Amino acid sequence: MSAPARPGIVYLVGAGPGDPGLMTARSLELIASAEVILHDRLIPAGALAGARDDAELVYVGKEPGSAAMPQREIEELMVARARDGRSVVRLKGGDPFVFGRGGEEAEALAAAGVDFEVVPGVTSGVAASAYAGIPVTHRDDAGAVAFVTGHEDPAKDESALDWDALAQFPGTLVLYMGVGRAGEIASALIAAGRAADEPAAAIERGTLPGQRTVSSTLGGLADAIAVAGLRPPAILLVGPVAARRDAIAWLESRPLHGRRVVVTRARAQASGLARTLAALGAEVIELPAIRIEPRLDSEEVRAAVADLHAYALVCLTSPNGVRLLFEAMVAQGRDARALANATVAAIGPGTAAALRERGVIADVVPERFVAEELVEALADVDVHGKPALIARAAEAREVLPQALRERGAKVDVVALYETVAEEPSPDALDAAQEADYVTFTSSSTVKNLLAAVGERFPSGARVVSIGPVTSAAAREEGLTVEVEAERHDPEGLVEALLADAAAEPRT
Ligand code: SAH
C-alpha cells in the first residue's frame, strides 16, 4: 500500500523499536504527508524530521516523572482532528497493537465512526532480541514465542496473567515492561515449574545507540540486571534461545562498537558522516560547531550568477557551494546551461558528486582535497587574461585566487555562504565528555568548537582530522592530532578512524 495520508483518516502507525532504519516505508510516507501527528516518547530520534513544515505535532506521551495525556483525551483529540477533515498519524513505538494501547484507540475510532488504518511496526521484543543475537524462535529449541506484559505484579492475587500457564509455555517468553519486576517475575515462573537454570537475557535500549544486553539464567536474571544497572526501556527474554547469543552476537563485533565519536560538522552536512559511523557501530554525538548561513542575496552573488556564461573557469570548493550556486541560479531563472562555456573545477570528489547530481560533470577534480592540489590540477587550463569565478565560503584560504591571479586570470571571488559558530547543546556537550574520538572536517570547525567549549573539550578523546590544514588548525588550538586522514574527504576520515580503532583496543 502506498499513498499519502488522506483527509479525515487516522493512521495508527508503528515507529519501530528505536533505530530509525527500522521504520517502515509506509510509516515514513504517512509522516511526510500527515497534517497532524500525535506521538509518544519512545519513537526513533529524527522520526518526525520528514514531517511537513505546517504539520501540527502533538506530544501525547509520558515524560518520566510527569503525567501523560490521559488516554481518553488522546482518543478525543484524534477523533476531533479527523472530523475536522485532517489527516492524522498516531505514531507509537514498536508495533501499535503490541502493548501499545493501539487496540483501544482503534476501538474508540470505530465507535466514533472515524475511518482508520493500522500500520504495523517492528516490535521491540523481536528487534531488541535480534540485535542482541537471540533468535526468538529456533528449529531446535523454540517452536513458539509468547509476548507477555511484565507490568503486573505476579505476587498480587488479581494478576490477570496465568503465571502457571506461562511457566509451562513450550517456547520463548518475551516480557515487555518487566525490567523493574524481574525478581518477582522470575520467582513466579520458577515457583510454577520453570527451571531456574534456563537461559535468560535482558536487553536495554534495544536497537538504539548504547544497547546493552545481560545474559544470565532465569534464577540469576534479577541480580544480573541489578549489577549492570539496566533500566527501562528493556525487555526480558526467557528460553534456551537466549544461550545462542554466545555464537550469534553481531552488534558488539562491529568495528566501532562501544566507541563514542563526536561529529563536529554543520548539522546539514553531518548526517552522512554520522550515519556511516553509526552503521559501523559507533555511538555518535553530534556537536555541530558551525552552521551554514547562505548569503545568496548579496549584490556580488547576483552579478556573478547573471554573468555566469561569461566565465572561462568556474571553481567550486564545497558541496554546499554547489548547492547554493544552483539555488542562486534557479532564483534567476537559470539552469546548468549557464555553465556551458566554462571549465568547471571541483576541489574534491564530494563537490564533484554534488555537481553531477545537478547534471554537470566537473572537468577538473584533484585527487586530494586541498586548494594547493586544485591549483596544480588547473595547471593545464589556460586562464591568462580570462575571467574566472571562485564560488565559496566567505572565510576561506587565499591560495586558489592568488595562484590564478598570478597566472593572469581575472578572478572574481564570491561568497555564497558564511560559516557561523553554533552554540553546542548542553546535553550533547555532556555526552561528549566521555568521547573516544573527536572528528574535525575543517579548520573552521576546529576553531569554532574550541571557542564554544573551551575547557570542556573532552580530554580523553583522540583527535581525528580530515587533512593537514585541519590538523594544523587543531595544533594551533593546542590539541594533539592522533589520526589524520590520507584521503581528505569524509570517507577517508572514516577509514583512518577505523584503522586507529583496530590498532587501539578499547580500554
Ligand atoms: N508497542 C511497543 C511496546 C510498548 S510497551 C512495541 O511493540 O515494541 C513499552 C515497553 O516496550 C517497554 O517497557 C519495553 O519493555 C519495550 N521496549 C520498547 N522499546 C524498547 C527498546 N528499544 N528496547 C527494549 N525494550 C523496548
* CA-closest residue to ligand 1 atom 2: 94
Whole-model pTM? 0.79
How confident is residue 507, by pLDDT bands cut at 50, 70 and 90?
low
177 lines ligand 1 (CB under 6 A): yes
Residue by residue, DSSP assigns 295-339 as -TTSHHHHHHHHTGGG-SEEEE-SHHHHHHHHHHHHHTT--GGGG
Q: Is 98 a residue whose pLDDT tops 70?
A: yes
CA of 329 to the centre of ligand 1 (A): 49
Q: Is 68 a residue whose pLDDT tops 80?
A: no
Q: Is 166 a residue whose pLDDT tops 90?
A: yes
CA of 235 to the centre of ligand 1 (A): 7
For the chain, give the mean pLDDT: 92
Residues contacting 347, CB < 8 A, separation 6+ = 315, 316, 317, 318, 365, 366, 369, 370, 371, 374
How confident is residue 19, by pLDDT bands cut at 50, 70 and 90?
very high
CA of 412 to the centre of ligand 1 (A): 58
99 lines ligand 1 (CB under 6 A): yes
Can you read off the three cell numbers belonging to residue 232?
527501562
93 lines ligand 1 (CB under 6 A): yes
Q: What is the pLDDT averaged over residues 259-270?
A: 83
Question: Cα–Cα–Cα angle for 346, 474, 406, nearest 5°?
Answer: 40
135 in Cβ contact with 141 (< 8 Å): no
Q: What is the pLDDT averaged over residues 415-439?
A: 91
Q: What is the pLDDT averaged over residues 61-69?
A: 70
Pick the atom of ligand 1 nearest to 236's CA.
15
CA of 233 to the centre of ligand 1 (A): 6
How confident is residue 369, by pLDDT bands cut at 50, 70 and 90?
low
Q: Which helix (H) or strand (E) holds 440?
A: strand 437-440
Q: Is 303 a residue whose pLDDT tops 80?
A: yes
User: Which range has the worst mean pLDDT, 83-87, 424-428, 465-469, 484-488?
Assistant: 424-428
Which pLDDT score, from 0 to 100, does residue 18 have?
Answer: 95
317 in Cβ contact with 355 (< 8 Å): no
Q: What is the pLDDT averaged over residues 292-319?
A: 93
* CA-closest residue to ligand 1 atom 9: 177
* C-alpha distance from residue 114 to each of 15, 87, 118, 330, 467 (Å): 22, 11, 13, 44, 59
**Mutate which of 19, 42, 122, 238 for ligand 1 pocket (most atoms within 8 A of beta carbon):** 42
Cell 502507525: give the residue: 13
> Which residue would you say has higher pLDDT here, 420 or 184?
184
pLDDT digits (tens, 9 = 90+) for 106-160: 999 999 999 999 999 999 999 999 999 999 999 999 999 999 999 887 877 677 7
95 lines ligand 1 (CB under 6 A): yes
Pick the atom of ligand 1 nearest to 102's CA.
1
Half-sphere exposure of 77 (CA within 13 A, CB side): 18
How confident is residue 425, by pLDDT bands cut at 50, 70 and 90?
confident
Which pLDDT score, from 0 to 100, does residue 396 have?
Answer: 81
Which pLDDT score, from 0 to 100, does residue 292 have?
Answer: 86
Q: What is the pLDDT averaged over residues 69-73?
A: 89
The percentage of residues in the chain with a pLDDT greater than 70, rounded to a whole number, is 97
User: Would you call 505 exposed, middle or buried from its count of C-beta atoms within 10 A (0-12, 13-18, 19+)?
Assistant: exposed
User: Which range has the worst mean pLDDT, 134-143, 319-328, 376-385?
Assistant: 376-385
**Mutate which of 235, 237, 251 for ligand 1 pocket (most atoms within 8 A of beta carbon):** 235
How confident is residue 64, by pLDDT bands cut at 50, 70 and 90?
low
**What is the C-alpha to C-alpha distance for residues 319 and 43, in angstroms, rounded to an integer?**
31
Which pLDDT score, from 0 to 100, does residue 269 have?
Answer: 67
Q: What is the pLDDT averaged over residues 46-74?
A: 86
224 in Cβ contact with 183 (< 8 Å): no
Q: What is the pLDDT averaged over residues 17-31?
A: 96
Angular region, 99: left φ>0, alpha ψ -120 to 50, beta rest: left
> Which residue would you say has higher pLDDT here, 312 or 348?
312
Q: Is 169 a residue whose pLDDT tops 80?
A: yes
CA of 99 to the centre of ligand 1 (A): 8
Residues contacting 293, CB < 8 A, separation 6+ = 417, 418, 419, 420
CA of 17 to the centre of ligand 1 (A): 7
Q: Is 61 a residue whose pLDDT tops 90?
A: no
How confident is residue 404, by pLDDT bands cut at 50, 70 and 90?
very high
pLDDT digits (tens, 9 = 90+) for 192-215: 999 999 999 999 999 998 899 999
**What is the C-alpha to C-alpha distance for residues 198 and 220, in angstroms, rounded to an integer?**
10
The percentage of residues in the chain with a pLDDT greater than 90, rounded to a whole number, is 76
pLDDT digits (tens, 9 = 90+) for 266-280: 776 667 899 899 999
> Which residue would you say has higher pLDDT here, 1 or 447?
447
Q: What is the pLDDT averaged over residues 262-267?
A: 86
* Helix, strand, or coil (residue 36): strand
379 in Cβ contact with 354 (< 8 Å): no
How confident is residue 377, by pLDDT bands cut at 50, 70 and 90?
confident
Question: Cα–Cα–Cα angle for 267, 464, 459, nearest 5°?
Answer: 95
* CA-closest residue to ligand 1 atom 23: 206
